[in-house]
Chains A and B, each alone.
Chain A
Amino acid sequence: NAGVTQTPKFQVLKTGQSMTLQCAQDMNHEYMSWYRQDPGMGLRLIHYSVGAGITDQGEVPNGYNVSRSTTEDFPLRLLSAAPSQTSVYFCASSYAQGWDTQYFGPGTRLTVL
């Protein structure tokens, strides 16, 4: 049981490049979410999904796209990276009934130059 896994651990991009942050969970959780963590600001919700085929926006969705084609995977896409997207990104998952008790992945540290 690997829990929530994220790849890559570190990434450096140039402004305007695109990339996908991968997130997978093996706990059969219905609910998955993406957060960004910035110094002094805690974690802010980017997008979340309550099940395959269903996604919704969180507090800071601009510049990010998501899709949920399977229960296990919830990738986060940056179509045109900007320096303001330099952050640490965390994926989390939970059961739909207990959605507020979430299990977090180890994070991806992204730097946009």
Chain B
Amino acid sequence: GNSVTQMEGPVTLSEEAFLTINCTYTATGYPSLFWYVQYPGEGLQLLLKATKADDKGSNKGFEATYRKETTSFHLEKGSVQVSDSAVYFCALGGSARQLTFGSGTQLTVLP
């Protein structure tokens, strides 16, 4: 079945540091890939998505590229801010109308 493996946290960075959160997946067919973000006390929000190989999703300075050859969708940001502190979830959307989520990575950015 489908599965998503995410880099374990928590991750603590200083403001303006470079961020990478690793995500790899196992799936049949050609799933869509997503990053969702959950700010404290809130529900999940879609951060970015990519629907086919080599697509790059981007939003709010975050980027991720759909790499079919390495089955990866790593999240990156060049300069994080305190306001980026949140939990980040990698997910894939398969053909059975189900989203499969990774376990989440807690990011804390210190001023």
Contact A90 B44 (CB under 8 A): yes
Question: How distant is the Cα of A4 from the Cα of B46 in the complex, in angstroms?
Answer: 14
Contacts of A99 in B (CB 8 A): 93, 97
Contact B43 A101 (CB under 8 A): no
B20 within 8 A of partner (CB): no
Closest to B92 in A: A100
Question: How distant is the Cα of A45 from the Cα of B100 in the complex, in angstroms?
Answer: 8
B11 within 8 A of partner (CB): no
Taking residues whose C-beta sits less than 8 angstroms from the other chain, chain A's interface range is 20 to 34
Contact A42 B102 (CB under 8 A): yes
Question: How distant is the Cα of A43 from the Cα of B44 in the complex, in angstroms?
Answer: 10
Residues of A within 8 A of B (CB): 4, 31, 35, 40-45, 48, 50, 58-59, 90, 92, 99-107
Closest to A91 in B: B43
B73 within 8 A of partner (CB): no
Given contacts A100-B32, A100-B49, A106-B42, 15 further A-B contacts (CB under 8 A): A40-B103, A42-B103, A58-B98, A90-B44, A99-B93, A99-B97, A100-B34, A100-B99, A101-B34, A101-B49, A102-B99, A104-B43, A105-B43, A106-B41, A107-B42
Contact B43 A4 (CB under 8 A): yes
Q: Which of B6, B46, B98, B103 contacts A45 (CB 8 A)?
A: B98
Instruction: Select the residue from A31, A43, A92, A100 with max chain B CB neighbours within 10 A.
Output: A100
Q: Which of A43, A48, A105, A106 contacts B101 (CB 8 A)?
A: A43
Contact B104 A42 (CB under 8 A): yes
Instruction: Select the residue from A31, A43, A50 with max chain B CB neighbours within 10 A.
Output: A43
Contacts of B41 in A (CB 8 A): 106
User: What are 15 A-B contacts defined by CB distance under 8 Å?
Assistant: A40-B103, A42-B4, A42-B103, A43-B101, A44-B101, A45-B99, A90-B44, A99-B93, A100-B32, A102-B46, A104-B43, A104-B45, A105-B43, A107-B42, A107-B43
